[in-house]
């Protein structure tokens, strides 16, 4: 791997020149700008762990394409063991960063595209998989970070891609050339986009034959001509941008994953970087497999975050003299229970994984949807319990400027103290951490990342195997599979 540690990753970003805007102004260096630097550091942790002996087994893998050691985030799952190691790695990274470390979307896109390209080639005689392998080996050897770009703006959601008054509401091919295609459109809410090396573009929904121009999968360098990124605002970003080290809550790693808009304004993509081009009948499988892989993640990475949050409120209860209260212990116990329930769900859908025709392994899709749907409930409940335990002071804390003020600092230090021997600054720091982890962007992402709750409910119902369950019930009740006709045609 060319990029062997976090420092090498950060340095590699300085060699790129993407067009990025934030609050209407360009960002020239994402590794130093206060809005993006925390997210760069969080992603760098995926590189740092791979360099540590105690995490190497989780953070690296052996490429089935080359036999070389690679980052697990560029690996195609070859076994159930691979799926489980991924889950264990994500929990550790959540614990280390307390936020999103951003490489999962590209990772899941790689696995979905690999398996679908194989099936497209078998059906149509194309060479998409060989193209994809060539590109992927480059990603593995260079250890590049890939942003998976799936979510389109969608415009009028009552209409499909070809029915939109503005056809660019879904990314599409606007020109086909002998050597490639030109694409136009946008992808929204792209986690880690501004600090990735490459974009893996995928359709956001299953498509029919009328939407052939929208059935495009391709890879594009982040700084290719015609690409513009707009970095999104987050709760508390003014505190972060002004380098308020305490009030930001998590100044080192930031909130969630640093989402951005990616606009494609007539971007040329050469043939060797195109992995699906018009084969609409396989787009549903691609979206379905990507979603399953990605939803499986949430019971792991969010559990890591919940571990941090549980530790934060437990420490706060200790320094406030409330930790021995039975109601506090009961609420902390419930936080642990919910966290471990989510984690077991991620492990379960991985342990029940199976190979696709390509040989790449896919998680159990039903259990993956159940896992993510539980995240939309359990993470909010853990956050509610954390705020309950912490008390109202985290919502009305004076700023660090007041704490350090010559005029009023003594008042803050006097009245925000806890048990003897614990600095007031530490109590405020842990309070701000809890605030950052329970509000704003963090909870929105838990709800809508990898699809809204309704998307999971739809898939859970589809995969519920109701016909089989009805047969089980009929068998136990002694009801025959088919009713017998009486004379005259009536059913018995």
The domain locations on the chain are 6-279, 286-470
The pLDDT, as a whole number, for residue 441 is 56
Q: Which string of DSSP letters, residue by residue, matches 282-320?
A: GHHHHHHHHHHHHHHHHHHHHHHHHHHHHHHHHHHHHHT
CB-based burial of residue 422 (10 Å sphere; 0-12 exposed, 13-18 middle, 19+ buried)? middle
Q: Which residues pair with 274 in a beta bridge?
A: 218
- Spot the catalytic one: 9, 22, 114, 298: 298
356 catalytically annotated: no
Place of tokens 């696995």: 111
For the chain, report the end-to-end CA distance as a whole number of angstroms. 70
CA–CA gap between residue 453 and residue 164 (Å, rounded): 25
- Spot the catalytic one: 259, 279, 400, 435: 259
CB atoms within 10 A of CB 417: 14
Q: Which fold has domain 286-470?
A: Butyryl-CoA Dehydrogenase, subunit A; domain 3 (1.20.140)
SS3 (DSSP) at 260: strand
Phi-psi sector, 76: left (phi>0), alpha (psi -120 to 50), beta: beta
The encoded tokens of residue 3 equal: 């990029």
The encoded tokens of residue 245 equal: 């080290």
100 catalytically annotated: yes
371 catalytically annotated: no
- Spot the catalytic one: 293, 294, 373, 379: 294
Consecutive H or E run containing 182: strand 180-191
- Spot the catalytic one: 198, 244, 435, 445: 445
445 catalytically annotated: yes
Q: Which residues pair with 231 in a beta bridge?
A: 260
Q: Which fold has domain 6-279?
A: Butyryl-CoA Dehydrogenase, subunit A; domain 2 (2.40.110)
Place of tokens 């490459």: 198
Q: Give the global pTM.
A: 0.88
CA–CA gap between residue 174 and residue 72 (Å, rounded): 35
Our CA angle for 107, 120, 183, nearest 5°, is 65
104 catalytically annotated: yes
The encoded tokens of residue 163 equal: 């029915």
The pLDDT, as a whole number, for residue 451 is 63
Question: Strand pairing of 227-231 and 19-22?
Answer: parallel
| Residue 453: alpha-carbon gap to chain centroid | 15
- Spot the catalytic one: 301, 310, 356, 400: 301
The pLDDT, as a whole number, for residue 445 is 57
- Spot the catalytic one: 9, 47, 104, 170: 104
The pLDDT, as a whole number, for residue 440 is 56
Q: What is the pLDDT along the chain (492 residues), one digit of tens a residue?
A: 788 899 999 999 999 999 999 999 999 999 999 999 999 999 999 999 999 999 999 999 999 999 999 999 999 999 999 999 999 999 999 999 999 899 999 999 999 999 999 999 999 999 999 999 999 999 999 999 999 999 999 999 899 999 999 999 999 999 999 999 999 999 999 999 999 999 999 999 999 999 999 999 999 999 999 999 999 987 777 777 777 677 777 778 877 778 999 999 999 999 999 999 999 999 999 999 999 999 999 889 999 999 999 999 999 999 888 889 999 999 999 999 999 999 999 999 999 999 999 999 999 999 998 998 888 889 889 998 998 898 877 878 888 898 999 999 999 899 888 899 999 999 999 998 998 888 755 554 555 455 666 666 677 767 777 777 777 676 767 788 665 444 444 443
CA–CA gap between residue 354 and residue 364 (Å, rounded): 7
CA–CA gap between residue 23 and residue 36 (Å, rounded): 12
Q: Which residues pair with 381 in a beta bridge?
A: none
C-alpha distances in angstroms, 492 versus 146, 247, 489? Answer: 61, 73, 9
- Spot the catalytic one: 100, 218, 349, 371: 100
279 catalytically annotated: no
The encoded tokens of residue 467 equal: 């016909």
The pLDDT, as a whole number, for residue 396 is 82
Place of tokens 């419930």: 334
């Amino acid at each position: 791997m060319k990029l062997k540690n976090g420092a090498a990753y950060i340095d590699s970003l300085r060699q790129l020149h993407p067009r990025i805007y934030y609050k209407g102004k360009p960002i020239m260096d994402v590794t130093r700008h206060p809005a993006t630097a925390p997210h760069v550091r969080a992603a760098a942790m995926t590189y740092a762990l791979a360099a540590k002996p105690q995490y190497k087994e989780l953070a690296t893998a052996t490429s089935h394409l080359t036999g070389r050691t690679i980052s697990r985030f560029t690996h195609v799952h070859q076994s159930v063991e691979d799926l489980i190691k991924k889950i264990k790695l994500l929990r550790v990274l959540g614990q280390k960063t307390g936020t999103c470390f951003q490489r999962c979307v590209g990772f899941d896109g790689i696995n979905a595209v690999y398996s679908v390209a194989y099936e497209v080639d078998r059906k149509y005689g194309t060479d998409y998989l060989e193209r994809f392998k060539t590109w992927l080996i480059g990603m593995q050897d260079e250890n590049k970070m890939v942003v998976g770009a799936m979510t389109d703006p969608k415009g009028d959601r009552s209409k499909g891609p070809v029915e939109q008054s503005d056809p660019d509401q879904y990314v599409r091919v606007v020109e086909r050339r002998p050597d490639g295609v030109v694409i136009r459109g946008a992808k929204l809410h792209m986690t880690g986009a501004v600090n990735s090396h490459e974009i893996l573009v995928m359709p956001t929904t299953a498509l029919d034959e009328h939407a052939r121009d929208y059935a495009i999968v391709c890879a594009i360098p982040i700084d290719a001509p015609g690409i513009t990124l707009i970095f999104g605002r987050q709760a508390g970003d003014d505190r972060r941008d002004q380098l308020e080290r305490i009030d930001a809550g998590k100044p080192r790693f930031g909130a969630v994953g640093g989402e951005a808009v990616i606009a494609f304004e007539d971007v040329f993509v050469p043939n060797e970087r195109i992995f699906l081009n018009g084969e609409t009948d396989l787009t549903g499988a691609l979206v379905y497999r990507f979603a399953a892989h990605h939803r499986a993640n949430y019971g792991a990475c969010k559990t890591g975050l919940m571990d941090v949050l549980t530790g934060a409120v437990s420490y706060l209860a200790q320094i406030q003299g409330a930790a021995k209260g039975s109601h506090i212990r009961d609420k902390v116990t419930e936080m642990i229970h919910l966290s471990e329930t989510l984690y077991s769900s991620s492990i379960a859908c991985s342990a029940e994984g199976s190979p696709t025709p390509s040989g790449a392994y896919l998680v159990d899709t039903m259990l993956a949807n159940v896992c993510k749907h539980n995240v939309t409930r359990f993470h909010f409940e853990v956050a509610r319990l954390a705020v309950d335990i912490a008390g109202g002071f985290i919502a009305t804390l004076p700023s660090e400027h007041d704490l350090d003020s010559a005029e009023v600092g003594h008042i803050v230090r006097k009245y925000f103290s806890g048990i003897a021997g614990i600095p007031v600054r530490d109590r405020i720091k842990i309070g701000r951490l809890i605030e950052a982890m329970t509000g704003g962007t963090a909870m929105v992402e838990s709800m809508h990342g990898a699809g809204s709750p309704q998307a999971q409910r739809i898939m859970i119902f589809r995969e519920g195997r109701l016909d089989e369950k009805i047969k089980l019930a009929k068998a136990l009740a002694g009801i025959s599979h088919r009713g017998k006709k009486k004379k005259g045609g009536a059913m018995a």
